[in-house]
């Protein structure tokens, strides 16, 4: 059976109210009996003592008291079986006696009115007289009152009246509480469910493909946090979806451009029915190289995503690493009029890194630095230690990157200037691959730039040393 959250909330209020009502009723029922008995007993006791005093005040003797008392308290039929069980042996002195009838004794403890099995004039044994109360008149002891122990009191009528009244009050209280619970439950359910309804609506829209959803945060409690998390999730999914679409479009474009060039030359050769000359074959070969590089870059990124890209970190020489890079780029730098220098500021030359992956990382950074440097520029490769970190830097004095591009520079297919047609082969994957490779070795990469024409500083930090 499907019960809505609203109904469940209202039902739970109902259940709580009913439970509280029943609990109050039971507590009153179970605890009131004894108190009521003692109250009634005290009341009866005061009444009888007043009667005894009023008799004595007028008569000044006990002559005729029994008759006076019998008139005041006519015996109910079947009232006290004990009074009829005459001749019964008195209990031993040590026995605990249950007294379920008031007794009145004169100053010498002689019975003044029939009391249990004792007739007027008899003196009951002490065991019956443990709780007797003196009755005094004008400072003189005139009689004793033997109180009931209360256990024999029948509260039927008093209890009935009391419970009838209590039940009525409880019933009114529970009915009012149920009414209030229904109204409050309704209001609270509406207030609580409003953000949940908004979230349900928004997530249903997301399930249909409309990822850009935002719900209003109406409170600062757990529901508010849920709304915040939902909005964040929606924003991230939207961003991821936009990037995925952009990436598909970029891949299609970057594969399409070289394929167009290649198919153009092949069609030309077919039309002319003549073989392609070596220069055209070289262009085709370059374009094929671009396709291969794109596929290889995509494979690296996909392996990094699947976490199947392996790194083997062993102690490598950082001077050796820089020397390999210098050798690879020296000629190109000289040709471009750029100085490539290295700086190793370390006590120990070795670090736990994957040499081939680091060559790939530094090659990406140095080739970018070279591409964006002008004649006369400088590129510096530096390694140093900053507390527990090994810090590798690639600095250049080239074109720089404007602040608005910096947050996206490591994103896949992100290029600062849309120079796709001119810069075939540079598809904006180099820095995202670099970042993946650095992270795979436990490092982080960041970039700083003073802006256009101010050069760039790429910095990689690896936690290596004991701080």
Q: Which residues are at the interface with ligand ADP (CB under 6 A)?
A: 364, 368-369, 372, 396, 398-401, 409, 414-416, 426-431, 456
Question: Where does residue 213 rank: exposed (0-12), middle (13-18), buried (19+ CB within 10 A)?
Answer: buried
Cβ distance to ligand ADP smaller for residue 73 or 420: 420
Residue 397, number of CB atoms within 10 A of its CB: 20
CB of 414 to ligand ADP, least distance (A): 6
Beta strand segments in 260-417, E: 314-317, 339-345, 350-353, 378-386, 389-396
Cβ distance to ligand ADP smaller for residue 213 or 364: 364
Cβ distance to ligand ADP smaller for residue 185 or 400: 400
What is the rounded distance in angstroms from the CA atom of residue 83 to the CA atom of residue 116?
5
Distances (CA, A) of 257 to 71, 284, 300: 126, 12, 22
Cβ distance to ligand ADP smaller for residue 432 or 441: 432
CB 11 within 8 A of CB 137: no
CB of 411 to ligand ADP, least distance (A): 8
CB 315 within 8 A of CB 350: yes
Question: Where does residue 131 rank: exposed (0-12), middle (13-18), buried (19+ CB within 10 A)?
Answer: exposed
CB of 353 to ligand ADP, least distance (A): 21
Q: Indicate the pairing of strand 339-345 with strand 378-386.
A: parallel
Nearest to 10 by CA among 183, 174, 177: 183
Distance between first and last Cα of the chain: 62
Cβ distance to ligand ADP smaller for residue 265 or 408: 408
What is the rounded distance in angstroms from the CA atom of residue 466 to the CA atom of residue 348?
14
Distances (CA, A) of 149 to 14, 45, 129, 141, 400: 43, 11, 12, 23, 103
Cβ distance to ligand ADP smaller for residue 142 or 456: 456
In 273-317, alpha helices (H):
278-306
CB of 220 to ligand ADP, least distance (A): 41
Cβ distance to ligand ADP smaller for residue 257 or 368: 368
CB of 369 to ligand ADP, least distance (A): 4
Cβ distance to ligand ADP smaller for residue 61 or 302: 302
CB of 235 to ligand ADP, least distance (A): 24
CB of 290 to ligand ADP, least distance (A): 11
What is the rounded distance in angstroms from the CA atom of residue 322 to the CA atom of residue 102?
114
Q: 355-371 vs 318-336: helix axis angle to the nearest 10?
A: 20
Residue labelled with tokens 């936009």: 242
CB of 382 to ligand ADP, least distance (A): 15
CB of 349 to ligand ADP, least distance (A): 26
Cβ distance to ligand ADP smaller for residue 223 or 427: 427
- Taking CB atoms, the residue at the shortest distance from ligand ADP is 430
Cβ distance to ligand ADP smaller for residue 190 or 452: 452
3-class state of residue 463 by DSSP: strand
CB of 450 to ligand ADP, least distance (A): 11
């Amino acid at each position: 059976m499907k019960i809505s959250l609203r109904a469940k909330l209202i039902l739970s209020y109902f259940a709580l109210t009913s439970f509280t009502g029943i609990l109050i009723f039971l507590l009153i029922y179970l605890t009131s009996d004894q108190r009521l008995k003692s109250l009634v007993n005290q009341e009866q006791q005061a009444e009888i003592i007043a009667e005894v005093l009023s008799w004595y005040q007028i008569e000044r003797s006990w002559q005729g008291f029994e008759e006076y008392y019998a008139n005041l308290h006519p015996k109910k039929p079947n009232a006290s079986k004990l009074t009829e069980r005459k001749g019964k042996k008195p209990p031993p002195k040590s026995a605990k006696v249950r007294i379920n009838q008031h007794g009145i004794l004169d100053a010498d403890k002689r019975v003044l009115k029939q009391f249990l099995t004792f007739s007027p004039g008899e003196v009951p044994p002490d065991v019956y007289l443990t709780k007797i109360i003196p009755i005094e008149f004008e400072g003189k002891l005139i009689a004793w009152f033997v109180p009931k122990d209360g256990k024999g009191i029948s509260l039927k009528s008093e209890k009935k009246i009391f419970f009838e009244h209590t039940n009525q009050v409880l019933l009114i209280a529970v009915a009012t509480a149920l009414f209030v619970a229904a109204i409050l439950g309704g209001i609270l359910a509406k207030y609580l469910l409003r953000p949940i309804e908004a979230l349900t609506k928004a997530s249903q829209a997301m399930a249909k493909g409309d990822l850009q959803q935002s719900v209003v945060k109406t409170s600062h409690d757990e529901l508010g946090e849920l709304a915040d998390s939902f909005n964040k999730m929606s924003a991230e999914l939207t961003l991821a979806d936009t990037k995925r679409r952009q990436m598909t479009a970029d891949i299609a474009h970057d594969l399409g451009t070289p394929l167009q060039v290649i198919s153009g030359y092949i069609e030309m050769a077919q039309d002319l029915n003549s073989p392609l000359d070596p220069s055209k074959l070289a262009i085709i070969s370059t374009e094929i190289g671009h396709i291969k590089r794109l596929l290889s870059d995509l494979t690296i990124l996909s392996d990094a995503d699947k976490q199947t890209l392996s790194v083997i970190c062993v102690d490598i020489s950082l001077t050796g690493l820089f020397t390999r890079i210098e050798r690879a780029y020296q000629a190109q730098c000289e040709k471009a009029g750029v100085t490539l220098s290295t700086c190793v500021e370390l006590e120990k030359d070795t670090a736990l890194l994957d040499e081939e992956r680091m060559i790939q990382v530094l090659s990406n950074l140095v080739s970018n630095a070279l591409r964006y440097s002008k004649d006369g520029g400088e590129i510096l490769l530096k390694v140093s230690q900053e507390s527990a970190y090994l810090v590798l830097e690639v600095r250049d004095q080239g074109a720089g990157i404007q602040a608005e591009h910096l947050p996206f520079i490591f994103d896949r297919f992100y290029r600062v200037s849309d120079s796709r047609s001119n810069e075939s082969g540079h598809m904006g994957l180099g820095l995202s691959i670099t970042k993946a490779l650095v992270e795979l070795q436990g490092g982080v990469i960041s970039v700083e730039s003073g802006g256009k024409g101010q050069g760039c500083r790429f910095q990689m930090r690896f936690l290596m040393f004991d701080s």
